[in-house]
Amino acid sequence: MERDAHTAERQLETLRKQLDSESIKRKELEQVALAQKKELAVNRDHLAKYDGELNRVLDDLKAREWELKQLESRQDKTIVEHVHVLEKAKKVTDQQLKEAQEELQKNAVYIRSLEAREPKMDQTELRLRLVQLQDERQQHQKDLADRDFLIDQTRKKYQGS
């Protein structure tokens, strides 16, 4: 009996040590669980913050895409308007060219008629008038070439943009 009491006492002591050990482990695990809960709460806060920032960035991106579409639409309209202006300018200059060519033809006919009517007219005067008309013709052709070059450059600029 004494032996049984001694054995029971040892078992009781062993069980107390196990209980103390398990209690310590439980407290440590509770502390780890508490730390993990705190870390989880912090991570959730960070996630909410990043989610909000992501939504703001996405909204900003959508706004910029819309603005870009608006600018592209205006650019297309501007190009079309410039093309129309250039076409009108070309029509006007073509009309001016036609009128200038008609004027040159009239002047050439006039010169020929003067030459035919008055052969006695001073050759120097005729040559001066001829030089003047040729200078006018050259200037007019230069103006037309400059105009065509400008129209071509402007068209390339707006079609290439």
* Tens-digit pLDDT string for the chain (161 aa): 778 888 888 898 998 999 999 999 999 999 999 999 999 999 999 999 999 999 999 999 999 999 988 888 777 777 777 788 888 888 988 898 899 899 889 888 888 887 777 555 577 887 888 899 999 989 989 988 888 898 888 888 887 75
Q: Enter the tokens of residue 159.
A: 């079609």
Closest CA relative to residue 85, chosen from 149, 141, 158, 143 = 158
pTM of the model: 0.38
Q: Which domain holds residue 145?
A: 2-160
Closest CA relative to residue 148, chosen from 156, 160, 138 = 156
Q: How many CB atoms lie within 10 A of CB 133?
A: 16
Instruction: Tell me, rounded to whole angstroms, the distance of Cα 103 from its chain centroid.
Output: 49
pLDDT score at 6: 86
pLDDT score at 161: 57
| Total tally of structural domains belonging to the chain | 1
pLDDT score at 121: 56
Position 117, amino acid? R
Instruction: Tell me, rounded to whole angstroms, the distance of Cα 92 from its chain centroid.
Output: 34
